[in-house]
Amino acid sequence: MANLAGLQNALNVSSGRGSAAVADPSDAPTPRKEPRGPKPVSKTPVPIGRAGRENIAAWLPGDFKKSIRLIQAKKPDQSLQDLMAEAFNDLFSKYNVPTVSE
């Protein structure tokens, strides 16, 4: 807080509101810590299909999207979400971490 008091003093001096006296850091107010409670509840309801799920996104070059759409064209019965879940499980297997089954 001493740094903040020094900055405030410099502002006061430069604006002509105060003298060049250095403020005592012990005079500075201590910051109040707000008690942390539970997360606020969202006002918008979560769609049933998204309950208990997490969004995983990445900004990748367009060729990634083209390739996954080509796979989707070969497997029209699978959604993009199904294909991405399969790709993640393949990655998890490669690195020997638990896979996820739905």
3-48 pLDDT, tens digit each: 777 878 888 888 877 665 555 656 666 777 777 777 777 788 888 8
Residue 79 has a pLDDT of 94
| pLDDT exceeds cutoff 70 at 97 | yes
The angle that helices 80-94 and 62-74 make with each other, rounded to 10 degrees, is: 110
80-91 pLDDT, tens digit each: 999 999 999 999
Contact 96, 89 (CB under 8 A): no
**What sections of the chain are H helices per DSSP?**
2-14, 62-74, 80-94
Residue 19 has a pLDDT of 66
